[in-house]
Amino acid sequence: MTRIDARGLRCPWPALRLARALRDRAGPIEILADDPAAEREIRALAAARGVGIEALELDGAAAFRIG
């Protein structure tokens, strides 16, 4: 499993990091983000790519498992 720590990054950077991981890696990806706009962008990216997404909370930040 790939884990992306995007805490402290403002959008669009969390979504851009996720897009790169989806392009370069196989298997599930977890991304942590604390920008309030990140959830909307991450969900939109997952929907556009046709991959499932699950909301989590890890290390006190919003987290999402994709794939």
Exposed, middle or buried by CB within 10 Å (0-12, 13-18, 19+), for 49? Answer: middle
The pTM for the full model equals 0.89
pLDDT tens for each residue of 42-65: 999 999 999 999 998 777 778 999
pLDDT tens for each residue of 2-37: 999 999 999 999 999 999 999 998 889 999 999 999
pLDDT the model gives residue 67: 86
- What are the beta bridge partners of residue 31? 4, 64
pLDDT the model gives residue 22: 94
